[in-house]
Amino acid sequence: MSPLERWRNYFSLENTFIPIDTDELDLICCDTTTRTIGHIGIELHNCVFNSHDLQLLRQSIPTVQGMKVQVNFNAELLNCIWVKNPVTQEYLQVINTDPATNDLNSAQTAKLSEMRRQASSTNATLSSQEARERMIALTAPFMRAKTQTERRRAFKLLGIIADGDLDQKASSQKAKAAEMRRRSTPKLERDTKPTAILPPPTAAARQHSAALLEDEPPPIFAIVSRQVIPLDLPFGTGEQP
């Protein structure tokens, strides 16, 4: 396809149909993945989604397909997911069965899961609700802090900001501080380079320089009619040819 045809194809006028029901936008503007339906439902982003209709769908799917279904989800709000029926191509809405995570995003649920794993490593039991209350209690002092660094630490504990984002922010702050130090340094001091100290000339070098000064200067040439004619004129006499 030529560039002109590609341009006409992408920018041609066409009829765009908008869904009548605005709730369909929640399904259209979602991420898509595939999951297996188990006896407890579908596990996604440390949450469990299950319903009676989902289990009926699990029983109706042939085993040759491995019970893999398409799942649409909103990573910013894990209150429900949409499961696509591979036979009828219809979507089934399935709610989040955990009230402690049904209003959180994927980053926050990941942080809750990490806190529960840390508690289980010490043979302690921590529910999702207890982990959420503990996380809120830990971040409360940082949220009231005046500096942006402390508030970003609270966002990290909440799971809103990943560790990589904090590392990138820290590196950018270091680069900005280095640039400010460079600009505050005077230009002459910044651009001055150390000069090399040359050794004094030897006696042979001085004699060679004196001999070059005593030699006669080279002749001056004039170009006339494309011929080179030497002019025996001494330097500094001011004589004309």
**Per-domain residue ranges of the chain:** 17-95, 106-181
Average pLDDT over residues 169-197: 63
pTM: 0.54
* Residue 231: strand pairing partners: 220
Question: Distance (Å, rounded) from C-alpha 45 to C-alpha 36?
Answer: 14
Poorest-confidence range of 70-79, 128-137, 138-147, 161-170? 161-170
pLDDT at residue 172 above 70?
Answer: no
φ, ψ for residue 87, nearest 5 deg? -95, -55
| Region 173-195 average pLDDT | 64
Binned at pLDDT 50, 70 and 90, residue 54 comes out as very high
Do the Cβ atoms of 84 and 71 come closer than 8 Å? yes
Stretch 113-121: mean pLDDT, rounded?
A: 82
Q: Give the three-state DSSP class for 130.
A: helix
In this predicted structure, the answer to whether residue 72 has a pLDDT above a threshold of 90 is yes
Average pLDDT over residues 55-84: 85
Mean pLDDT of 182-208: 63
CA distance 205 to 96: 92
Q: pLDDT value at position 142?
A: 72
pLDDT of residue 102: 86
Q: Which pLDDT score is estimated for 2? A: 87
Helix (H), strand (E) at residue 38: none
pLDDT averaged over the chain?
A: 75
Q: Binning pLDDT at 50, 70 and 90, where does residue 6 land?
A: confident
With a cut of 50, say whether residue 98 has pLDDT above it.
Answer: yes
pLDDT at 152 over 80: no
Q: How far apart are the first and last CA of the chain?
A: 75
What does the radius of gyration of the chain's CA atoms come to, in whole angstroms?
Answer: 40
CA distances from 8 to 1, 108, 156 (A): 11, 44, 46
Give me the phi and psi of 34, to 5 degrees please.
Answer: -125, 140
